[in-house]
Structure 1
Amino acid sequence: MELFDKLYDEQEKAGVRFVGFTTKNVRYDFGIVYTNMFFGKPLVVCMQTGRSTLLDPKDIENLEYLQKVFRIDTLEEASDLAEFFSEALPTSPFETQYE
């Protein structure tokens, strides 16, 4: 008996970058998985909390989103994180998966 419908089951050799850095008040440790899945959006994992998200350039501009997804206390800290991600993540355009 089939219990579920498999949507995908892909394997690939993905590039992974581990980055730790500090700002004036906060230390960050991230794992960034560069993959062809998810229309090229990198998977960003906070190594301290385990929280993760797919990020594209528009997400980086949304400080409230960064603040929410990574549970950041202030917009200043989110702005620091956005500055890091703007340099660390690819800037190529992404396609919308669902319309």
Structure 2
Amino acid sequence: MTLFERLYDESEKVNVQFVGMTTDHSRYDFGIVYTSLFFGKPLINCLQSGKCLLLGREDVEDLDMIKSSFQVTDDTEALALSEFLKSVLPPLGMEAQY
């Protein structure tokens, strides 16, 4: 009796970028995994919280999502984090960049 159904099992060589930033109140360190999976959205790994999420440049415009995803309560902090992520994420999908 099978208790699960395997959805996918893929392997690929990926590019990983490590970036960090500071604000007046916090430090953020990220590992960004660029993959052709997940519709080309990079996998953002927050090294402080251990949270991982798929984010494209269009996603980081949503400050409420930034606040809840990265446990930020201040709007100014969320805006700084959004601007930073926009500056490091590629403007196009993986297919167009790599």
Q: CA deviation at 1:26?
A: 1.3
Partner of 2:45: 45
Does 1:76 find its partner at 2:76?
A: yes
Aligned CA RMSD, in angstroms, stands at 1.5
Q: Aligned equivalents of 1:68 and 1:3: distance in 2?
A: 33
Q: Alpha-carbon deviations, 1:28-72, whole Å to 9, x = none?
A: 111111111101100101101101210012211101100001101
Q: Aligned equivalents of 2:2 and 2:24: distance in 1?
A: 54
Q: Aligned equivalents of 2:62 and 2:26: distance in 1?
A: 19
Partner of 1:9: 9
Q: Percent identity?
A: 49
Partner of 1:19: 19
Unaligned runs of 5+ in 1: 95-99
Q: CA deviation at 1:24?
A: 2.2
Structure-2-length-normalised TM-score: 0.87
Structure-1-length-normalised TM-score: 0.86
Count of residue correspondences = 94
Amino acid at match of 2:2: E
Unaligned runs of 5+ in 2: none
Q: Alpha-carbon deviations, 1:64-99, whole Å to 9, x = none?
A: 1000011012111110011111111122269xxxxx
